[in-house]
Amino acid sequence: MGRLELPHLTALEPKSSVSTNSTTSAEDESYIINLVVNVNGFVQHASKIRSWGRRMWELPGWQQAHHRLRKSLPGYCAFCLAPAQLGQGWCSTCFTELPWNIQCCEQCAEPVSQKAQRLCGRCLNEEPALTCTQANLLYQSPIKELVHDFKFNASSRAGMLLAELMLTKMPSQLGTALLAVPMHPQRARERGFNQAQWLAEQLSRRTGLPLIRAKCQKLAASQRTLNRRERVANLHGAFSLTGPLPAHITLIDDVVTTGATGNALAAVARQSGAERVDMWAVARTPLGNN
């Protein structure tokens, strides 16, 4: 490493330039030697660190980590990493290209093929307990990844973005209180938080509406592999509420899949005094039946 670097030392040595006092003591000299040795050591370390940094940057994992870091920083678009629109978490191009759920059933937010179609075939056949469902987006990429980051990595930035995306188009009527779809305490402990409750808290702050709490007392099997009928049976007796509830309330959830969870909770809310129950979610999984 060339530790002492005496040439540098001699270059600094003319005592008159360091001090006007011509009688520099041995103590001063040793202080200057130590100082120069330390500065040299630092410079060499710094160049080593820079070179390690360059080599590490070439590793794909580090570049991914850098992308993740930029994604977690405000000021960059959460989807493409370009500079974001002022005060937003996205750029205008990505915002336009998001999978917006524009043409959908009023009651369950399932996409419909005809513009004039107010309800989907399923809601026409079997009236749901929910009066209206608002889900501004479809549960497709890149919303799927954002929801995943929020739910499984507990990313508060992803959560804030999802809440902001919900607020880009609010339901025309919200009623007088919000109610998050509850999670069984054991599941909430495993995940660390209830994502619907987290979103409901943000939306309650933004809308000024109070939050009502429901309980989930049944650790139902995962809904993922079940069809709609099985989901309804699986959720039987899952929720409880202490009434009486206000006449019109809005449920909050992250993703509406078949609508079975929202309808099960809405049915309980109706039994507890609510006359109208709506759903406001981030996204809807298209079932493709219409």
Nearer to Zn ion, 110 or 253 (CB): 110
- CB 117, min distance to Zn ion, A: 10
CB 189 to Zn ion: min, Å: 34
- Which residues partner with 256 through β-bridges? 284
The residue (of 195 and 257) whose beta carbon lies closer to Zn ion is 257
Contacts with Zn ion, 50-69, as mask; x by CB under 5 A: --------------------
Please report whether residue 269 would count as binding Zn ion according to CB under 5 A.
no
Q: Is 80 in the site for Zn ion (CB under 5 A)?
A: yes
Stretch of 47-55, 72-80, 141-149, 230-238 lying at the interface with Zn ion (CB under 5 A): 72-80
- CB within 8 A of 164, min separation 6: which ones? 88, 89
Give the residue with the Cβ less far from Zn ion, 58 or 126: 126
* CB of residue 191 to Zn ion, shortest distance in Å: 29
Q: Which of residues 96-155 bind Zn ion (CB under 5 A)?
A: 105, 107-108, 110, 120, 123
The one among 77, 147, 181, 268 contacting Zn ion by CB under 5 A: 77
Instruction: Give the nearer residue to Zn ion in terms of CB position, either 120 or 209.
Output: 120
- Provide long-range contacts, Cβ within 8 A and 24+ apart, for 266-269: 266/128, 266/129, 266/130, 267/129, 268/214, 268/239, 268/240, 268/241, 269/179, 269/214, 269/241, 269/245
Q: Residue 91, interface with Zn ion (CB under 5 A)?
A: yes
CB of 145 to Zn ion, least distance (A): 13
Residue 287 touches Zn ion, criterion: CB under 5 A: no
User: Least CB distance from residue 110 to Zn ion, whole Å?
Assistant: 5
Size of the site for Zn ion (CB under 5 A): 12
Residue 173 Cβ vs Zn ion, minimum distance, rounded to whole Å: 18
Nearer to Zn ion by Cβ, of 26 and 86: the residue is: 86
Of residues 90 and 198, the one with the C-beta less far from Zn ion: 90
The span of 75-83, 175-183, 199-207, 232-240 binding Zn ion (CB under 5 A) equals 75-83
Which residue ranges make up the site for Zn ion (CB under 5 A)?
77, 79-80, 82, 91, 94, 105, 107-108, 110, 120, 123
